[in-house]
Structure 1
Amino acid sequence: MNRRARWEIRIFFVAWLIFLFFRAKDPFSFLVLNTFLGYIPIELSFHIGRQRPRAWLFWPIVLVWLLFYPNAPYLLTDLFHLSLLQPYAVSGLLRVTPHLWIYFTYMIISAISCSFLGFWSLNYVSECISLRLGKGNAVVRLLVVVALTFLTSVGLYIGRFLRIHTIYLFLNPEQFIRPLMNMWTPNMWIFVGLMTFIQLFCYWVLYLIMTNSRQTVDD
């Protein structure tokens, strides 16, 4: 991604976060924190490349990226909170209340921007990792994507059902050791499997779009 695009993304997120801070009211004030956390892995991916930084710094940045990356697709699961607005009328039809659709817009913009750009960062980070580990081998890259996506799905479960945000793991990790040890249930594995499938499907679609765009430019 070129420098101009990176700065456009930064300016958008700063402006959007300021807007949400003043406009998103309870029970949707969580959008400010969740959108900010979803942006962090996108910003981190701007600071790594195929040859930079050196290995001693590259891998710590990738690790921090992985800790925060689940926050990007996490916003897709936030769409369930729209049920708090009671979107259906007694007739069974969707209500046309402006308040409902305004918050729908807020959530869609946050979810799409963080998840789509998050998938871009997944593609870019996996490419950088595969170049360092397997000299760009396609099989290595595919394995990296699947592994990262699986770990992300585990992170989604931790955030959604254990209510443990990434930042809490840094502030008070001891408090969450027992819940993390006890979370490995059949329902958890089903959720992780479904989320992994959804993410890989979205990644595949975006990968096809990006690859086709490059071929179109070359042609």
Structure 2
Amino acid sequence: MLYIYLTVVKHNSFYSFLLLNTFLAYIPLEVAFHMNEKQPKALYALLFIVWLLFYPNAPYVLTDLFHLARFNPYDPQTGLMTMNLHMWLAFINLVASALACSLLGNWSIDYVTDTLQKRWGKKQPLWHFLIVVILLVISSIGIYIGRFLRLHTAYLFINPKWVTDEILSMWTPRMLIFVIFMFIIQFIIWVAMTLYRHGLNKYETDCQK
């Protein structure tokens, strides 16, 4: 976040929103660090609710990549990409933020799912898969709310009635299709990270033999 401040916000760039979005995406990661299966039920429930409310901010940053459309990277005369360093800096900032937030958020969703399984005594892989799918669907709905209704998580505490009314009236076929799209990309990231972790664990196990 300090890097984003120094390279974007300090220069009054259009991409100053990255600082807030990255900070919001970091909150569920920080909350996850404080969660474990041995906590009192009330404390765990409170942390889980906070995590769930803020988690969609992590994959939400992926949608910020569309802001790259503000740039025209091609020279109109040659048709080749231009060496516009401001454009490339914005590209790096957007992609780095999107990757970091989505990957670290992916870790938190797996970790939180593990704690839920341990608390419920449901340690089978199928339960892990089902819980992750449910959380990804909720997250996808949250992305829609943030991107198109422009509702930040903080609004839930500032004006909950207005937020509730907006959410109840948002359900349309197009909205559901968007939710499916967001679920697909999150699910692909989760599968890729899961395969990577399993491969890494297998490698470490083989090395210990």
Fold match by TM threshold 0.5: yes
Structure 1, residues 59-111: CA drift from partner, whole Å, max 9, x if none?
A: 21011101000000011100000111223332544332111001111111111
- Which range moved further: 36-45 or 87-96? 87-96
Q: 1:47 to 1:56 in 2, by over 3 A?
A: same
Q: TM-score by structure 2 length?
A: 0.91
- How many residue pairs match? The answer is 205
- The separation in 2 between residues aligned to 1:26 and 1:181, in whole angstroms, is 35
User: Matched residues in 1 for 2:203 and 2:81: separation?
Assistant: 41
What is residue 74 of structure 1 aligned with on the other side? 60
Give deviations 1:13-36, integer Å, cap 9, x for gaps: 5x3354356446331110110000
Match of 2:129 in 1: 142
2:188 matched to which residue of 1?
Answer: 201
| 2-structure distance, mates of 1:186, 1:24 | 41
Question: Mean Cα displacement is larger for which, 111-120 or 176-185?
Answer: 176-185
Question: Which of 192-201 and 166-175 deviates more?
Answer: 166-175
1:86 aligns to what SS in structure 2? coil
Whole-Å Cα distance in 2 between the matches of residues 112 and 20 of structure 1? 18
Q: Say which SS state the counterpart of residue 154 (structure 2) adopts.
A: helix
> In percent, how many aligned pairs have the same letter?
42
Q: CA RMSD of the aligned region, Å?
A: 1.7
1:76 maps to a residue whose letter is L
Supply the AA of the counterpart residue of 1:57: L
Could you tell me which amino acid in structure 2 is paired with residue 108 of structure 1?
Answer: V
Q: 2:9 touches 2:16 (CA, 8 Å); kept in 1?
A: no
Report the TM-score, using the length of structure 1 for normalisation: 0.87
C-alpha contact (below 8 Å) 1:75/1:111 kept by paired residues: yes
Distance 1:78 1:128, change over 3 A: same
- Contact 1:20/1:31 (CA < 8 Å) preserved in 2? no
**Other-structure match for 2:74:** 88
